[in-house]
Amino acid sequence: MNSPFFTNARRLRRHRASFAVAGMLAIFFVALDLRADEPYARSRDYDLQHSRIALRFDLDQKKVIGDVTHSLTILRDSISKIVLDSAGLTIQSVTVNKSAAKFETKDDKLIIPLTTAAHAGEKFDVTIRYEAKPTKGLYFILPDKDYPDRPSQIWTQGESEDTRYYLPTYDYPNDRLTTETILTVPASWITVANGKLINVSEAANAMKTWTWKESVPSSTYLITVVAGEFQEVKDSWRGIPVTYYAPKGRGDRLSINYSRTPQMIELFSKKLGVDYPWEKYAQSMVDDFVAGGMENSSATTNTSNSLQHPKLAPEFLTGQDDLISHELGHQWFGDLVTCKDWGDIWLNEGFATFMEFVWTESHFGKDQADYERWQSAHQWMEEANLYSKPIVRHDFNDSGEFDGNAYTKGGWVLYMLRHQLGEDAFYRGLKHYLEVNRGKNVVTADFAKAVEEATHTNVDQFFSQWLYGAGAPKFDLSYKYDDAKHEVALTVKQTQKVEGRVGLFRIPTEVEITTASGPKLFPITISNEKDTAIFTFPADSTPLMVLFDKGGHVLKSADFHKEKKEWLYQLKNATELADRADAISALGKLKGDDEVVAALNNALLNDKAWGIRANAADALGQLGGSAVSKQLLDALNTAKEPWVRNRIVSALANFKDDPAIVAKLTSIAGDNNSYRARVAALQALGRLKAPGALATLEAAVAADSPDGFLRNAALRSLGPLGDDKAVPLLLQWSAAGKPIDSRNAAISSLARLQKDNKEITNQIAAYLGESHFPIRMASIFALGARGDASAVPALEALLKSDDLSIEMVPMIKRQIASLKSPAGEKRHQHGEASGDDEESSASSAANDQGAVAKRLDRLEHLMQEMADRLKTIETRLPSAKQ
């Protein structure tokens, strides 16, 4: 899966953690106490082989009416009952081999006693008639009084264990079956399910019946149903149907966002040496989706936020490609070959994350791929709660299995394996893994074995430290040049605390030493036997540059003690993006140095990689000073790409009390050819609490822009601006009937204004009762952030309601806990925003509050950046499961 933004926790987290945005989301990860998914695969009594699933819907009641026949084979002797997962379903009748059968429901199980004990190999057809008003698993998105024009949609989300809420079945990954899905819906609707479309026929009462058949077996969490008022675009790859679906009215957005899909299918088929394995590939974009995307076999479901407006799409370099390539990658890793249990979920998510990287590298080039990788490594290293846990683990109930280890670190592990084995051997390993395990459930050892069989390279130690062990190396590095011996002595110290599952790492890597006569590369291997080692290398003169792990191919952090002139040289001359990015990070800490500012400005203007230019803008912004602000303003005159311009504009938000900056930001906000630059300017004005900004933000709220892009940014910036005069406008835009994204933004800003005004608290609390999931989530978070304990009863009442459409419970509990407890707790619950901008000092209450405020600012800023990207991928509030 791919995780969304404002959605709730576990669903949310699930999907997404691309190299590009993982860290940003990770900041919001919070530990949640959720109903645990089963960590270990069950022992099976039967093998579900085929399910014929016929569904109808009562739209007024939001009810599903089902008739399912499972064909199964008993796996062991003396089986006296067949037990299926069934949560909240009203079972009307059961037949076994067409004879009426007894049944009982208990603890989310449907138990069907057999008249005589069955033996291994016996086959049964079990037919169940049932109905349900699902609270999870299957969702009705329908027009209502506030949104009468909204297109009707029904969609499902099975992963991890929610299929049982709309279908009695074996609801764990370690069984695979073929399906026939028969959907009777209004005649004007379109449906999408797994596999091939077999037939569409007229049915009574102006309905039609659609029959889909999936002949390649897969797990029940990958079963999908999408039905509603959709528009379709048809494409193809090597004769296989490739289709895209948008809610009615947005069909014109499909091609601009999705048309690279066949190219991706071709790339992945070639790279993996295993052709795309399903009979079709559909992508359905649905409203209010509970994840960013979900890789149902042959029929992915994505959030409709990925249908970016055609006027905005060109401003996002990689568009929706992270999401599209992630879910497509799952069609091999996750769907064709499936993790046996959730403890091995990285075999799904790490691989899908890696496939994003494969597409990025191929389509957008090495610099883009390297930049995303560099960012993701830094973000992951800051996540202390991820660091201490291994990727493969079965004790994930504390924080859920869909975490940044399964995604970000999992993707990194595959990248490192590719780097160590080499491209050819690595893909030989993947091909063998897919071929041997095709149609099977796998554990991590299956992958290790396949790699070894295909490459004759033993990867046990690599797997041991990176997958079964936790953490990553933290290096302290320094070197001395011995003029007499013409030798560089490099001291490499691993400084990570060796405890729990974190050990010392054995790392093969490369050191490059550049002198006046040129660069020389030296392979070394760092031992896991002692924490410090000294490596010596010949060098004909004093080095101009020493690079450790040239190109940044190891997941690590490194504190390399170098002089300023070395960093300056590195920024200018290093050939690999990661080494120049490291130089910017080091130089960005040297305040008040004209030479540094000049070098960063040179990088901002001239580096060939946009990511380096953008990082230079960030670093300059943090250094501050009047020379810098002028340089940033000048750079705006030459920087062309929207993804660089918006970073330069954001950097201007560091210059407080500078009328020239405010004037420039105001001008950009009002009129610029880049919507992203305008949004960044609105955000910067809010963060700067600039005098006069209220009028600018109000004008932006009133302005017309694609999908309200400017309006939403302006509404969201009114909170940080902190001017209570904005309250009436925010109340107006938070009201039912306004666009959902605008309401989200307004509600989040209301949380920060007139904090003693109970009416605002009451208004936000009233939104808790709405059926629109994003509004509920925004309101839950807003009440927590607002800090008004009078909201506690409303939140507690919400907890008791029986229509919490997804697992919001832990989020609500957390807000209640924070409202009932002092500031320290509150900080915890907002997730740790790395804290780099807060000085540690005596913890007086004032300081504490200041720190909280800073964190909130930072969080707000990140939310805005996400909101920016969001139209693209994850939308909604980041919570946890990537």
Question: In terms of DSSP H, where are the helices of 45-146?
Answer: none
Nearer to Zn ion, 160 or 211 (CB): 160
Closer of 352 and 718 to Zn ion (Cβ): 352
CA-closest candidate to residue 226, choices 190, 198, 250, 195:
190
Q: Measured between alpha carbons, how far is 709 from 150 in angstroms, rounded to an integer?
A: 19
Burial of 489 (0-12, 13-18, 19+ CB in 10 A): middle
Looking at the Cβ atoms of 352 and 750, the one nearer to Zn ion is 352
State the nearest-atom distance from the C-beta of 329 to Zn ion, in Å: 8
CB 374 to Zn ion: min, Å: 22
244 vs 346, beta carbon nearer Zn ion: 346
Residues 533, 526 contacting (CB under 8 angstroms): yes
Shortest Å distance, C-beta 1 to Zn ion: 4
Q: Which of 612, 663, 605 has the alpha carbon at shortest distance from 368?
A: 612
Listed ranges 7-15, 367-375, 620-628, 720-728: which one lies at the site for Zn ion (CB under 5 A) = 7-15
Nearer to Zn ion, 138 or 352 (CB): 352
- Residue 492 interacts with Zn ion (CB under 5 A): yes or no: no
Q: What is the pattern of x (binds Zn ion, CB under 5 A) and - over residues 294-333?
A: ----------------------------------------
Query: Which window, 9-17, 54-62, 757-765, 773-781, contacts Zn ion (CB under 5 A)?
Result: 9-17
Q: What's CA 317's distance to the chain center, in Å?
A: 18
User: With respect to Zn ion, which residue has the nearer C-beta, 336 or 352?
Assistant: 352
How many CB atoms lie under 10 A from the CB of residue 585? Answer: 14
* Neighbouring residues of 526: CB distance < 8 A, sequence distance ≥ 6: 473, 492, 494, 505, 506, 507, 508, 509, 533
Kindly indicate which of the ranges 352-360, 502-510, 726-734, 858-866 contains the residues binding Zn ion, using the contact rule CB under 5 A. Answer: 352-360
- Smallest distance from Zn ion to CB 230, Å: 23
CA separation for the pair 425, 574 (Å, rounded): 28
1 binds Zn ion (CB under 5 A): yes
Cα-based angle 855, 858, 860 (whole degrees, multiple of 5): 110
Q: Considering the complex, what minimum distance in angstroms separates the CB of residue 407 from Zn ion?
A: 7
CB of 27 to Zn ion, least distance (A): 19
Contact range with Zn ion by CB under 5 A, out of 350-358, 519-527, 560-568, 706-714: 350-358
Residue whose C-alpha is closest to residue 359's, from 292, 281, 269, 431 = 269
Beta bridge partners of 70: 51, 126
Structure tokens at 216: 């390649």
Please count the other Cβ atoms lying within 10 Å of the Cβ belonging to residue 735.
14
Choice between 2 and 666, CB closer to Zn ion: 2
- Residue placing its CB nearer to Zn ion in the complex, 352 or 812: 352
Whole-number minimum distance, CB 441 to Zn ion, in Å? 17
Q: Tell me whether residue 1 or residue 665 sits nearer to Zn ion (CB atom).
A: 1
Buried/exposed 624-651: b ≥16 CB within 10 Å, e otherwise: beeebbebbbebbeebeebbbbbbbbbb
Site string for Zn ion, 330-349 (x = CB under 5 A): -------------------x
CB 106 within 8 Å of CB 81: no
**Which string of x and - marks every residue 775-814 that binds Zn ion (by CB under 5 A)?**
----------------------------------------
Complex with Zn ion: residue 741 or 874, whichever CB lies closer: 874
Taking the complex as a whole, how short is the minimal distance between the CB of residue 4 and Zn ion, in angstroms?
12
Segment 393-422, which members bind Zn ion (CB under 5 A)?
Answer: none
CB of 878 to Zn ion, least distance (A): 15
CB of 348: closest distance to Zn ion in angstroms?
6
Choice from 11, 13, 15, 253 touching Zn ion (CB under 5 A)? 15
Please count the CA atoms within 13 angstroms of the CA of 329 that sit on its side-chain side: 31
- Closest to Zn ion by CB, 222 or 513: 222
273 DSSP 8-state letter: T
Beta-strand pair 281-286/299-303 = parallel
Q: Residues near 415 by Cβ (< 8 Å), separated by ≥ 6? A: 354, 357, 373, 553
Contact region for Zn ion (CB under 5 A) — 11-19, 651-659, 720-728, 736-744? Answer: 11-19
Taking the complex as a whole, the smallest distance from the CB of residue 353 to Zn ion amounts, in Å, to: 7
Q: Taking the CA atoms of 729, 734, 739 and 741 in sequence, report the sign of the dihedral they define.
A: positive
Nearer to Zn ion, 1 or 20 (CB): 1
Residue 600 lies near Zn ion (rule: CB under 5 A): no
Among 307, 324, 352, 812, binds Zn ion (CB under 5 A): 352
Q: How far is the CB of 691 from Zn ion (least distance, A)?
A: 46
User: CA 605, CA 599: separation in Å to the nearest integer?
Assistant: 10
Residue 637 · residue 627 · CB < 8 Å: no
Q: How far is the CB of 293 from Zn ion (least distance, A)?
A: 7
Q: Residue 220 or 629: which CB sits closer to Zn ion? A: 220
d(CA 222, CA 14): 14
Residues lying near Zn ion in the complex (CB under 5 A) are found at 1, 15, 349, 352
